[in-house]
Amino acid sequence: MKSFPAALMAQARVLIVGDIMLDRYWFGAVDRISPEAPVPVVRVARREDRLGGAANVARNVAALGARASLLGVIGHDEAGRHVVDMLAEAGIAAELNRDEAYPTTLKLRVLGRQQQLLRIDFEERPSPQALGGIELQAAQLLLAHDVLLLSDYAKGVLDRVEHLIELARAAAIPVLIDPKGDDFSRYRGATLLTPNRLELEQVIGRWSSEATLTERVQNLRRELDLEALLLTRSEQGMTLFSDSGRMHVDAQAQEVFDVSGAGDTVIATVAAMRAAGADWEQSIYWANQAAGIVVGKLGTSIVTAEELI
């Protein structure tokens, strides 16, 4: 396989639309059990905020050297301000709708001795007015981008995903989607879906052989008018299904530390590669390389072009 096309990345333009989150980590020491309840007491020593959800996908696209624009909804709150600041630091063009009644989605993780002890989620669904604003902005932004990447975390921003797919198809812009839920008919007409094993099982059922898997996925792909479907399989690598058949790449040998955010890295890499003009084979190869790196990092992390060169 050729070397990573870092020079071409500067011309690649990816529009990311989806559920924006702030991932907050509290790290501490655990040396006793609470006298109030049988739970550990964490003495917090360090705090860290990271971009999550669609914002982490955009961060991965930008880290590879591509131009990333992020469209989504945040609230008028402390978490939203942190998101705006971190997007600017990452060089991401922020096209954000602010919803007065909407709290920015926040996931707070408490860790002791590098082990996650608790996660607390703060989230609500955005208003119909905010969703209408997303569609208007997307229609204006699409023509200045090479690929539309939809990052669906089922938090509400992509509740009307069908309209976004129609807009992209009308503009002849490829649509790559990280799906959620058991109804993939919502994504009809997309270019690529990237479900993991559990997500795909919810749609086609469990499979007993690779032949059964291939038959069911190809039927699903034709039914939904998809150009391709990429199944991410954790330690088993990833498999691409398209009109050309089935292409599999084995996972890179890697001590797995944390798989959270690995799907973000995969679709971000594929989107950046496709925007740079790469074919499916090259795109999947580099996505697999990137996934092998990111699972060795804690939490929602990124892979840079320098790590792939």
Asked if 281 and 245 touch (Cβ cutoff 8 Å), the reply is no
Cα distances (angstroms) measured from residue 245 to each of 1, 87, 214, 305: 20, 39, 9, 30
Question: How far apart are alpha carbons 229 and 206 in whole angstroms?
Answer: 17
- Rounded Cα distance, 267 and 227, in Å: 15
**Catalytic residue IDs:** 264
* Rounded-to-integer distance, Cα 247 and Cα 240, Å: 5
Burial label, 255 (beta-carbon count in 10 A; 0-12, 13-18, 19+): exposed
